[in-house]
Amino acid sequence: MKFGYFDDSRKEYVINTPKTPYPWINYLGNQGFFSLISNTAGGYSFYMDARLRRITRYRYNNVPLDMGGRYFYINDNGTVWNPGWSPVKTELDEYECRHGMGYTIIKGKKNGLKAEVTFFVPQNYDGEVQQVVLTNEGSEAKDFAIFSMAEWCLWDAQDDCTNFQRNFSTGRVEIEDSTIYHVTEYRDRRNHYAFYTVNDTIDGYDTDRDAFLGSIYNGWDNPETVKAGKASNSFADGWSPIASHYKKITLAPGESKTLIYILGYAENPQDKKFASEKPANLLTREAWVLNKEKAYAMIDKYNTPEKVAAGLEELRTTWENLLSIYKVDTPDDKVNRMVNIWNQYQCMVTFNLSRSASYFESGIGRGMGFRDSNQDILGFVHQIPERARERLIDIASTQLSDGGCYHQYQPLTKKGNADIGGDFSDDPLWMILSVASYIKETGDWGILDANVPFDDDPEGKHTMLEHLNVSFYHIVNNLGPHGLPLAMRADWNDCINLSCFSDTPGESFQTYTNPKFKAEGGYSKIAESVFVAALFTYTGPAYVGILEHLGKADEAAKAQAEIDKMKKNTMESAFDGDWFLRAYDANGEKMGSKECEEGKIFIEPQGFAVMSEIGKEEGADIKTLNAIDKYLNCEYGLVLNNPAFTKYYIQYGEISTYPGGYKENAGIFTHNNAWIICAEAYAGRGEKAFEYYSKIAPAFTEETSDIHKTEPYVYGQMIGGKDAKNFGQGKNSWLTGTAAWNMVAISQYILGVKPEFDGLRVDPSIPAAWDGFTATRQFRGDTYEITIKNPDHVNKGVKKLTVDGTEVEGCIVPVAGDGKTHQVEVVLG
């Protein structure tokens, strides 16, 4: 069952009922000011940091679920309704929500009155613009009232929802004409404020929540003032400040009126915090006056429909440009809309927000992840390489000089944070992968010379190349009894915690270390991760390639020898006959083996082992891929492990705490499905690669949205696995490494257009039924128009490659570097 449709020409998903199986959201903003907005206009805004600079309030896990947002209420002769249906939930005559690239349009119609609201955050602007167009489509004149509503958050979202003894008494506002200012804590230690304005005169306002609602027993679905058709002109003094504008409107038949509301954020320099005079029309109970210069300038920027149109056009052009860097035309519309639109869009969102704020991440939990952010770069780097470069330097600067990493860092301070500690065994390797992918995209070898400090040597002169070196050797220097990398606190799978042995509620599996391992330095020196071994042999060659390029042949040979040794150790001690083991636990027992009672096979190490060709000559790759198909493949994707754990295995940590089929315990963790898609494509099995891709790619789940539940235009972290009661149900949509990795899987492995150090590889691995496809790829200043022909209907194999009519050996298009457009033709066979 569907709840809407894709409008590819406008790059929008169009939702045609407000009653989606879960709130289907969009993100506005991509620099400093961000908003989350659902299809019923729920959600909230923040500046930079969802925890420390929350602008509007939202209550997670509410009843009903999605309550709190920017709401417009219309009272049309006693009928009260919202253009987005919620919160009043009056049945609408028409409803539509269009989520587009950085904007959302919500339309509602009731009794002949139509309201169309366009929400967006303009480029380089710290505010959300909301343009409301009201049209009387009836045959008689209409008199009605419109009320806006935003509830302020008292800045620190964590404090806001816990520290009521203080913050019920701190709320402060100022009102000047049609603008309501939120100035809580401004006088003392803050230099930022927010405002909500409308570009017209108003007939009243409310800034006190209880006054607006009329009673503490009312909810947002039942505000007294709206029902009464008149604001109460309340002035907030503590409690919960809000901003609501009240306006009376008369429209003749066919007549329209446009109102532009702006929810803005501004910061003042310390010495310019206050205005020297108090204007006569200012409503305040304070002796001081906010300096509003910045707000005035912001309001002036978007206070007419023409200016709004220009802002929208600028946003549209920005996205057209971003999405023109890699474009494809394949025989499958769903592939096209994922690659050309939604997957790339989601990559930008994950790059910006990491795992901080979604409808599943409360924005007050974690900082940015070292591994997460590095992986996000893989999907984003072609869009704005300069921002990727800056991010890489920021992340690397939180690394320690021995190659170890803080697991998380704070975007506001750019410092590592010790909340989750360090010693995650996989972290350093993602840095090699992301830096290599940046160089492959841009050819900017200069990044290796960039001065990048270590967290424990902030003044020292160090280069990015040194960071790669210590990352590589951090693995080599921390091996266990089988010569495999130590598992430490966890690897990519946060829930395999082999040094934890936790039996007390509340202990964090990621930070708690069993006292028996304390003396050994915080983790078992026995437990080893086969996943990290495989990731090492997959990423190591990029490090070797970098050294070779720099003419450091000896160092390259030395590193290569470590990779070869790791492959040998893995084949000798970690191949279980038909697939690779997952780990050795702290007792030296195999995890993810035929010999295990549960959790006999795990997905994570397999794809990287196959792509590193570990044991290929003995057929380990095909055996492994076949085992995945046999044990992990199911209707909605590949489960993480099988059989699911039904008991608590204290020696494994968090993984077996989840009911079977969810999250890391046999859920379909879509992030790692991508690694198998890549591996199948790599092995030339284009049919399987595509089968797995089409099971999880959102556009393919659209038809089963009633089961899948979450947005059909973006990936979620997880889908309920075959052991789950809710088999096929998506969760944790939007902020997941799946976005980047599936962008890599489809664009670089299946469609096979992959940047390399010395050019653009074109080596697809596609369904045999395809006659071919075309792609446009901007790469290092040139544009490549690529045509793939598949006359023999094979999966993989480049028979002939020509660039501008001249045949080229192999499948790498050399960098032309002339800024021109080049024709690339590839014949498969």
| Catalytically active residues, by annotation | 494
Judged by CB under 6 A, does residue 641 bind ligand GLC? no
Query: Using CA atoms, how far apart are residues 623 and 528, in angstroms rounded to an integer?
Result: 23
Task: Closer to ligand GLC by CB, 391 or 663: give it.
Answer: 663
Which residue, 184 or 425, is less far from ligand GLC as judged by CB?
425
Q: Is beta strand 716-719 parallel, antiparallel or unpaired with respect to 730-733?
A: antiparallel
Is 355 an interacting residue with respect to ligand GLC (CB under 6 A)?
A: yes
Nearer to ligand GLC, 179 or 510 (CB): 510
**Closer Cβ to ligand GLC, 101 or 353, answer by number:** 353
Per CB under 6 A, 567 contacts ligand GLC: no
Q: Is 582 in the site for ligand GLC (CB under 6 A)?
A: no
Closer residue to ligand GLC, CB minimum distance, 16 or 158: 158
| Cβ-proximal residues to 740 (8 Å cutoff; 6+ apart), any chain | 347, 350, 375, 376, 377, 378, 379, 380
Q: What CA–CA distance (Å, rounded) separates 723 from 710?
A: 20
Q: What is the smallest separation between the CB atom of 628 and ligand GLC, expressed in angstroms?
A: 18
- Determine, following the binding rule CB under 6 A, whether residue 664 of this chain makes contact with ligand GLC: yes
Q: Total number of residues binding ligand GLC (CB under 6 A)?
A: 15
User: How near is the Cβ of 371 to ligand GLC at its closest, in Å?
Assistant: 5
Please identify the residue of the shown chain whose CB is closest to the bound ligand GLC: 494
Which span sits near ligand GLC by CB under 6 A: 344-352, 392-400, 473-481, 493-501?
493-501
Q: Is the dihedral of CA 211, 216, 220, 221 positive or negative?
A: negative
Helix, strand, or coil (residue 428): helix
The three state secondary structure string of 124-170 is CCCEEEEEEEEEECCCCCEEEEEEEEEEEEEECHHHHCCCHHHHCCC
- φ, ψ of residue 610 to 5 degrees: the values are -65, -45
Determine if 663 is a binding residue for ligand GLC (CB under 6 A): yes
Taking the complex as a whole, the smallest distance from the CB of residue 585 to ligand GLC amounts, in Å, to 17
For the record, the structure tokens of 483 come out as 């010569």
C-alpha–C-alpha distance, residues 441 and 418, integer Å: 32
Q: Which of 110, 112, 67, 64 is nearest to 90 (CA)?
A: 110
Residue 38 to residue 35: CA distance in whole angstroms: 10
Interface with ligand GLC, residue 273, by CB under 6 A:
no
By CB under 6 A, residue 493 contacts ligand GLC: yes
Question: Interface with ligand GLC includes 372 (CB under 6 A)?
Answer: yes
CB 531 within 8 A of CB 491: yes
Tokens of 271: 């010495």
As measured in angstroms, the least distance from the Cβ of 354 to ligand GLC is 8
User: Of the ranges 60-68, 114-122, 299-307, 365-373, which one interacts with ligand GLC (CB under 6 A)?
Assistant: 365-373
Residue among 174, 332, 441, 654 that touches ligand GLC (CB under 6 A): 654
Which uninterrupted H or E stretch holds 113?
Answer: strand 113-120
Select 43 or 737, whichever has its Cβ closest to ligand GLC: 737
Nearer to ligand GLC, 408 or 537 (CB): 408
Distance, in Å, from the CA atom of 588 to the CA atom of 782, rounded to the nearest integer, reads 53
Single out the residue of 794, 793, 770, 783 nearest to residue 819, CA to CA: 783
Taking the least distance from each CB to ligand GLC, the nearer of 247 and 582 is 582
Q: Shortest CA distance to 390 belongs to which of 417, 369, 368, 414?
A: 414
Stretch that binds ligand GLC, among 94-102, 474-482, 491-499, 739-747 (CB under 6 A): 491-499
Q: Which is nearer to ligand GLC, 119 or 645 (CB)?
A: 645
Asked if 427 is part of the footprint of ligand GLC (rule: CB under 6 A), the reply reads no
Contact 601, 643 (CB under 8 A): no
Q: Which stretch binds ligand GLC (CB under 6 A): 17-25, 69-77, 488-496, 720-728?
A: 488-496
- Best CA proximity match to 13, nearest among 100, 85, 96, 121: 100
| Near ligand GLC by CB under 6 A: residue from 717, 742, 790, 795 | 717
CB of 578 to ligand GLC, least distance (A): 24
Select from 79-87, 157-165, 188-196, 490-498 the region that touches ligand GLC (CB under 6 A).
Answer: 490-498
Name residues contacting ligand GLC, limited to 505-534 (CB under 6 A).
Answer: 510
Question: For ligand GLC, what does the binding mask look like between residues 736 and 775, x meaning CB under 6 A?
Answer: x---------------------------------------
Q: How far is the CB of 640 from ligand GLC (least distance, A)?
A: 9
Q: Judged by CB, which is closer to ligand GLC: 84, or 369?
A: 369
Pairwise CA distance, residues 648 & 169, whole Å: 47
List of residues 6+ apart from 817 with CB closer than 8 A: 780, 781, 782
CB of 358 to ligand GLC, least distance (A): 12
Q: Is 302 or 531 the residue whose CB approaches ligand GLC more closely?
A: 531
Q: Is 369 in the site for ligand GLC (CB under 6 A)?
A: yes
Taking Cα atoms as reference points, which of 326, 354, 358, 359 lies closest to residue 341?
326
Q: Which residue has the tokens 């160090």?
A: 462
Q: How far apart are CA 485 and CA 625, in angstroms?
A: 23
Is residue 816 a contact residue for ligand GLC (CB under 6 A)? no
Question: Site for ligand GLC (CB under 6 A): which residue of 243, 322, 495, 699?
Answer: 495
| DSSP class per residue in 37-70 | EETTSBEEEEES-TTTTEEE---TT-SSSS--B-
Name the one range near ligand GLC by CB under 6 A: 164-172, 367-375, 472-480, 803-811.
367-375
Give me 364's structure tokens: 């007050």
494 binds ligand GLC (CB under 6 A): yes
User: Given candidates 492, 579, 682, 749, which one binds ligand GLC under the rule CB under 6 A?
Assistant: 492
Which residues of the chain form contacts with ligand GLC (CB under 6 A)? 355, 366, 369, 371-372, 492-495, 510, 654, 663-664, 717, 736
